[in-house]
C-alpha cells in the first residue's frame, strides 16, 4: 500500500513539472527579470515591462539620439545630415546642388564640374572641365546645311581642276591659309586633297581623298585656324618624309624634306605661333569600315598624343562627335603610324610636344554637291559642325591654364 501511494505522488509531481508558467504542458514560457511570464504562448517578449534604464515598470524612453531618460523635453532628432541633437536651429540645409549639408561642390547633386546647378559644363577627367558658356559657337549655330554645303561643293570643284596635275614647283604644291589669330592653336591638314605620287602602288599614284580639301578650307573659314592643303599632284606627303629617289618631280632635291611637311614643321617650330594640335583629314571607302562608325582616328595607339592632356583627348573627341550622332573608333583600321604619315611626322620630327591625329572619314560622311551619285547632306553638315566644335573646344583648352605651352 505504501508503495502504491509513493508511485502516485511521483506521477503527480512529474506531470506538474511539464507545465510552463502559462500552464502549458511542455511549454516554453518562462519568467523574466520582472517576474512576468513571457515567451511561449503568452505573446509577450522578455522584460517587456522593463524601460531602457533597466527598471521594471519604469518610464525612461530611448529617443532618436539613443539617450535614455524620463525627460521628454530634451528628446533629440536626426536631421538630414545624420546629426542627432535637440537643437532645431542647427539642422543642416540643402545647398544649391541639392545636397544636404553640402557646400556647392562641383560634380555633386545637380551641379556640373564648375559647381553650377543644372549647368552644361562637361567633366572630361584629367582636370579638364569645360564650361561651354565660355566658348563662342556662333560659327556653328549660324550655319545650316543649306547655307554651308554649296560652298563646300564649290571648293571641291576648284580642287578638281588640278587633282591630277603635277606640281609646277615645290613652293606651289600646297595651299597655306595663315592663322587669323595669334591664339589659334590647331593646324588643319589635308595632304590627300589631290592625287599623290606613291611609287609602291600601281601607276605610281595614290588616289585623292575626295572632299578632304574642301572640308579643310571650310573649316579654316569657320574657325580661322591655319590650314594646309595639297593643291597639285606631288610626292605623297602622307607617305614620304623626304623626297624619294624615285621622284618624277624633284630629281635635283632627292633627300630633302617634302615641301608640305617642311611648311608644317617650320610653322609649328616658329615661337611666334602657338600650335598644339594637328588635325589631319583623310577619307576611305565605305567597305573599309566593317562596323557602323563614321571615322577611324589614327594616333599610333596613343604615340601621337604628347601634350600634357594627350591621354584625355580621345574622350573629348568621342563626346563631341557623338553629340552629332557620329560614331568613331581609334586605331582600328588606320593607325596613322604604318608609313611616314603626317601624324607620325608631327610626333617624331617636330621639336615640340603636341597632339596629332589622322581622321579617316567614311565616304558617306564626305560630300557637299547635290549632283553626287549618293547625297547625304545631314551626314556632311554634322561632320563639319562636329569638327568645328572640336576645334573651338580644343583651342579653348590649349589657351587655358590647364596646358603649359
Say if residues 151 and 369 touch (Cβ distance below 8 Å): no
Which of the pair, 127 or 369, is modelled with greater confidence? 369
- Per residue in 208-263, pLDDT (tens digit) is 999 999 999 999 999 999 999 999 999 999 999 999 999 999 999 999 999 999 99
| pLDDT value, residue 145 | 73
280, burial (CB in 10 Å: exposed 0-12, middle 13-18, buried 19+): buried
Q: Which residues pair with 277 in a beta bridge?
A: 186, 355
User: What angle in degrees, to the nearest 10, is found between the helix axes of 212-223 and 145-160?
Assistant: 130
Phi, psi of 367, deg, nearest 5: 180, -175
Count how many residues are written for the chain.
405
User: What angle in degrees, to the nearest 10, is found between the helix axes of 377-398 and 313-323?
Assistant: 140
Say if residues 281 and 211 touch (Cβ distance below 8 Å): no
| Residue 34 to residue 292: CA distance in whole angstroms | 78
Grid coordinates in use for 399? 589657351
387, burial (CB in 10 Å: exposed 0-12, middle 13-18, buried 19+): buried
Say if residues 212 and 161 touch (Cβ distance below 8 Å): no
Phi, psi of 41, deg, nearest 5: -95, 5
- Per residue in 128-164, pLDDT (tens digit) is 888 877 776 666 667 777 889 999 999 999 999 999 9
Q: Is 29 helix (H, G, I), strand (E, B) or coil?
A: coil
Q: Please, what is the Cα angle at 85 between 82 and 87, to 5 degrees?
A: 120
| Residue 101 to residue 300: CA distance in whole angstroms | 47
Domains, the chain, in order of start with CATH, read 84-119 (no CATH), 129-398 (3.40.630)
- CB count, 10 Å around CB of 271? 6
Closest C-alpha to 126, from 339, 392, 351, 314? 314
Q: Which residue shows C-alpha cell 528628446?
A: 75
- Give yes or no for residue 374 having a pLDDT over 90: no
Say if residues 267 and 275 touch (Cβ distance below 8 Å): yes
4, burial (CB in 10 Å: exposed 0-12, middle 13-18, buried 19+): exposed
Position 76 confidence tier, pLDDT thresholds 50, 70, 90: confident
Which of the pair, 197 or 126, is modelled with greater confidence? 197
Grid coordinates in use for 217? 578650307
- Per residue in 311-357, pLDDT (tens digit) is 999 999 999 999 999 999 999 888 889 899 999 999 999 988 999 99
100, burial (CB in 10 Å: exposed 0-12, middle 13-18, buried 19+): middle
pTM for the structure as a whole: 0.77
Quick one: which H or E segment has residue 69?
Answer: strand 68-69
| pLDDT value, residue 7 | 47
Question: Given CA atoms 19, 22, 27, 29 in this order, what sign does their dihedral have?
Answer: negative
Position 67 confidence tier, pLDDT thresholds 50, 70, 90: confident
Going by their DSSP bridges, the two strands 122-123 and 186-190 should be labelled as unpaired
List Cβ neighbours of 147 (8 Å cut-off, separation of 6 or more). none
**Mean pLDDT for all residues in the chain:** 88
37, burial (CB in 10 Å: exposed 0-12, middle 13-18, buried 19+): middle
152, burial (CB in 10 Å: exposed 0-12, middle 13-18, buried 19+): buried
Q: Is 54 helix (H, G, I), strand (E, B) or coil?
A: coil
Closest C-alpha to 277, from 225, 210, 223, 214? 225
Amino acid at each position: 500500500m505504501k508503495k502504491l501511494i509513493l508511485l502516485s505522488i511521483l506521477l503527480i509531481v512529474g506531470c506538474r513539472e511539464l507545465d510552463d508558467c502559462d500552464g502549458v504542458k511542455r511549454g516554453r514560457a518562462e519568467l523574466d527579470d520582472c517576474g512576468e511570464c513571457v515567451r511561449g504562448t503568452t505573446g509577450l517578449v522578455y522584460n517587456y515591462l522593463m524601460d531602457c534604464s533597466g527598471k521594471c515598470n519604469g518610464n525612461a524612453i530611448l529617443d532618436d539620439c539613443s539617450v535614455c531618460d524620463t525627460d521628454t523635453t530634451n528628446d533629440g532628432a536626426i536631421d538630414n545630415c545624420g546629426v542627432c541633437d535637440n537643437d532645431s536651429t542647427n539642422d543642416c540645409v540643402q545647398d544649391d546642388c541639392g545636397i544636404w549639408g553640402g557646400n556647392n561642390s562641383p560634380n555633386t547633386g545637380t551641379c556640373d564640374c564648375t559647381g553650377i546647378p543644372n549647368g552644361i559644363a562637361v567633366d572630361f577627367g584629367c582636370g579638364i572641365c569645360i564650361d561651354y558658356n565660355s566658348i563662342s559657337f556662333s560659327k556653328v549655330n549660324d550655319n545650316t546645311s543649306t547655307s554651308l554645303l554649296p560652298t563646300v561643293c564649290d571648293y571641291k570643284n576648284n580642287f578638281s581642276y588640278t587633282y591630277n596635275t603635277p606640281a609646277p614647283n615645290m613652293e606651289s604644291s600646297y595651299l597655306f591659309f595663315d592663322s587669323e589669330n595669334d591664339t589659334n592653336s590647331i593646324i588643319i591638314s589635308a595632304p590627300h586633297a589631290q592625287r599623290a605620287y606613291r611609287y609602291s602602288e600601281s601607276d605610281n599614284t595614290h588616289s585623292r581623298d575626295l572632299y578632304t580639301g574642301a572640308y579643310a578650307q571650310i573649316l579654316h573659314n569657320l574657325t580661322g585656324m591655319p590650314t594646309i592643303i595639297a593643291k597639285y599632284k606631288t610626292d605623297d606627303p602622307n607617305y614620304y618624309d623626304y623626297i624619294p629617289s624615285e621622284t618624277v618631280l624633284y630629281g635635283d632635291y632627292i633627300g630633302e624634306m617634302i615641301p608640305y611637311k617642311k611648311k608644317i614643321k617650320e610653322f609649328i617650330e616658329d615661337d611666334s605661333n602657338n600650335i598644339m594640335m594637328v588635325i589631319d583629314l583623310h577619307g576611305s571607302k565605305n567597305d573599309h569600315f566593317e562596323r557602323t562608325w563614321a571615322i577611324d582616328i589614327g594616333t599610333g595607339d596613343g604615340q601621337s598624343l604628347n601634350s600634357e592632356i594627350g591621354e584625355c583627348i580621345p574622350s573629348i573627341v568621342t563626346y563631341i562627335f557623338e553629340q552629332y550622332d557620329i560614331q568613331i573608333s581609334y586605331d582600328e583600321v588606320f593607325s596613322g603610324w604604318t608609313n611616314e604619315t603626317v601624324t607620325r611626322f608631327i610626333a617624331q620630327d617636330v621639336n615640340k610636344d603636341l597632339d596629332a591625329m589622322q581622321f579617316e572619314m567614311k565616304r558617306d560622311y564626305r560630300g557637299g554637291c547635290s549632283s553626287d551619285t549618293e547625297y547625304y547632306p545631314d551626314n556632311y553638315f554634322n561632320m563639319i559642325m562636329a569638327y568645328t566644335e572640336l576645334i573651338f573646344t580644343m583651342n579653348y583648352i590649349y589657351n587655358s591654364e590647364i596646358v603649359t605651352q
